[in-house]
Homo-oligomer: A and B are copies of this chain.
Amino acid sequence: MVGHAFMGAAHSQAWRVAPRFFDLPARPVMAVLCGRDPDRTRAAAERLGWAESVTDWKSVLDRDDVHVVDICTPGDTHAEIAVAALDAGKHVLCEKPMANSVAEAVAMAEAADRAARRGVRAMVGFSYRRVPALGLARDLVARGRLGRIHHVRAQYLQDWIVDPAAPLSWRLDKEKAGSGALGDIGAHIVDATQFILGDTISEVMGTLVTFVPERPLASAHSGLSGTAATGRTGPVTVDDAALFLARFTGGVLGSFEATRFANGRKNALRIEVNGSAGSLAFDFEDMNVLQFFDGTEDSAVAGFRRIVVTEPAHPYVGAWWPAGHGLGYEHAFTHQAVDFVRAVAEGTDPAPSFADGLQVQRVLAAVEDSAASRTWQQV
């Protein structure tokens, strides 16, 4: 695994826990953790449970005991690592957004194609697909329970930089992060809605805003939470919020909003879908619940049902606890690991593929183009 911050911890927990609850065709071994700083990487490996630590990710590509490379680094490094790993015959699980540009994503998708011909697999880490409630949402749409879909509205609302005194971090630096709210959280709702609908966005019209263009520089080595003030400020080079309207290939009308300035909303990934036969609503702040309106029912008893998605009949849930005993954020990563291991072992293509990741990248790029040109853009 490359990277050991927030995503590194989530992925480590997934590898650790997956075989304890799911029957896997292969047992993951947490072999080696890669990072830049040797001391910090060694400490992280110890804490997270990796057998070994190294500082040069290239060194693991030759090792026969490494079959999978799990990429949890900032987006600017994804393409280089993923292409090299795939070309070295390693299966790759890559965090989202897949890349910082369409060009990088194209290279990655091509590498994945090459690799697939040799039985080597690649997957992008859009973890929210693996939240059981969203899996159920997709099932209901696929089974026609919503009829013809008219609307989808999706919001990903956070507030962690609403304070203008929050310091610059790599996530606010276009070089490292590619974009701001758009790529970090907007990418999730693009993938999640396309996944649920089984359809793709074909056209967008959007706008990007940076509410706070200058922020305090944190001292060196301090991360997201680093608050050691330096007295100096630096420019925010990414968007604080991204809004766009979208049309899907099948005619669905979409409204999207990703922001880090929705005060009081900590991680509110919300999706609503309206169809001719019914509707769905989801909010990650109540992640074990899917709301479903069955429009074919007698109006006297119709209403949005609060389905507590903890039944054995629900996706992934049977492996865990009895009904009513909810799951948490990191369970989606465990499910992702399960699906990835199964696909690799069974020799099937995992989803979302690098081609899917590339398509999301094209949507994000179209939003940026649209914001610049002030017109609709084809994806």
Assess whether A175 is interfacial by the CB under 8 Å rule: no
> Which of A33-41, A67-75, A97-105, A310-318 lies at the interface with chain B?
A310-318
B243 with A265: CB separation less than 8 A = no
Inter-chain CA distance A274–B259, complex, in Å, is: 10
Contact of A136 with B300 in the complex, beta carbons under 8 Å: yes
B303 touches A308 (CB 8 A): yes
Cβ-defined partner of A305 (8 Å) among B140, B155, B305, B374: B305
Indicate if the CB atoms of A257 and B255 lie closer than 8 Å: yes
Pick the contact of A263 from B12, B159, B274, B330 — CB < 8 Å?
B274
The answer on a CB contact under 8 Å between A262 and B151 is: yes
Q: Say whether A279 contacts B295, CB under 8 Å.
A: no
Q: Which B residues touch A298, using CB under 8 A?
A: 313
Question: Contacts A17-B13, A292-B303; is A323 near B274 (CB within 8 Å)?
Answer: no
Q: Is the CB of A243 within 8 A of B245?
A: yes
Chain B residue numbers with a CB within 8 Å of A294 are: 301
A342 within 8 A of B: no
A331 within 8 A of B: yes
Cα A16 to Cα B17 in complex, Å, equals 8
Shortest beta-carbon distance from A222 to chain B in Å = 16
Stretch at the interface among A54-62, A203-211, A230-238: A203-211
Q: A47-B20, A329-B326 are in contact. Are A302 and B264 (CB under 8 A)?
A: yes
Give the shortest distance, in Å, between A227 (CB) and chain B (any CB). 13
Q: Is the CB of A304 within 8 A of B211?
A: no
Which partner residue on chain B sits nearest A297 by CB separation? Answer: B305
Tell me whether A376 is interfacial, beta carbon within 8 Å: yes
Whether the Cβ atoms of A278 and B263 lie closer than 8 Å is yes
With the chains together, A48 CA to B16 CA distance in Å? 11
The one of B150, B253, B263, B277 that contacts A276, using a Cβ cutoff of 8 Å = B263
CB distance from A147 to the nearest CB of B (A): 8
Give bound CA distance, A338 to B293, whole Å.
33
Q: A residues 285-301 with Cβ under 8 Å of B?
A: 285-288, 291-295, 298-301
Residues 11-22 of A, flagged 1 when their CB comes within 8 A of B and 0 if not, give: 011001100110
**How many Å from the CB of A24 to the closest CB on chain B?**
11
* Contact A329–B323 (Cβ < 8 Å): no
When C-beta atoms are compared, the residue in chain B nearest to A275 turns out to be B263
Task: Give the chain B neighbours of A176 by CB distance below 8 A.
Answer: none
A313 CA / B299 CA spacing, docked (Å) = 7
Q: Does residue A306 face the partner (Cβ distance < 8 Å to B)?
A: yes
CB within 8 Å for A305 and B303 given contacts A17-B16, A20-B12, A324-B285: yes
Using Cβ atoms and an 8 Å threshold, which residues of chain B touch A200? none
Shortest CB–CB separation between residue A226 and chain B, in angstroms? 14
User: A243-B245, A376-B374 are contacts. A324–B267 as well, Cβ < 8 Å?
Assistant: yes
Known contacts A136-B300, A266-B322, A304-B306; 4 further A-B pairs (Cβ under 8 A)? A20-B49, A145-B301, A243-B253, A300-B307
